């Protein structure tokens, strides 16, 4: 299906622009955890991004890019839901690293 191919391509393109998705989602979860004072996992980040895309699709169901992004976020959530990838909390080292980057 074209939409699945497009999702795969956009993941690859964004990986080139922003780094690998594991690193990006770990970074996002560390930032969200620090800002909220709650444990936010990479899986949680993916689920929230799915919700954002679904809200956008509800507003404009003809926006193809939102569907492509939703598929990508579903794939990320599936990856982080696996027992070997799902974390119960962000480590202190991850928070320290992110906070250091934010201060630079």
Q: How far from 46 is each of 2, 63, 100, 104, CA to CA, in Å?
A: 22, 20, 24, 26
Residues in contact with 24: Cβ distance below 8 Å, sequence separation at least 6, in sequence order: 18
Alpha-carbon distance 98 to 20, whole Å?
16
Among candidates 80, 83, 60, 74, which has minimal Cα distance to 8? 74
| Model pTM score | 0.75
Q: Could you write out the DSSP letters of every residue in 10-29?
A: HHHHHHHHH--HHHHHHHHH
User: What residues does each domain of the chain span?
Assistant: 2-103
Residue-wise pLDDT tens for the chain (104 aa)? 888 888 888 777 777 777 788 888 988 999 999 999 999 999 999 999 999 999 999 999 999 999 999 998 998 898 888 776 665 455 566 556 655 655 55
């Amino acid at each position: 299906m074209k939409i699945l191919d497009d999702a795969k391509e956009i993941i690859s393109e964004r990986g080139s622009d922003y780094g690998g998705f594991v690193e990006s989602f770990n970074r996002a979860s560390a930032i969200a955890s620090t800002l909220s004072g709650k444990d936010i996992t990479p899986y949680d980040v993916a689920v929230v991004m799915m919700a954002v895309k679904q809200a956008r699709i509800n507003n404009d169901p003809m926006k193809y890019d939102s569907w492509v992004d939703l598929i990508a976020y579903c794939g990320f959530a599936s990856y982080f839901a696996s027992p070997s990838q799902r974390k119960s909390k962000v480590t202190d080292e991850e928070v320290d690293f992110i906070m250091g980057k934010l201060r630079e």
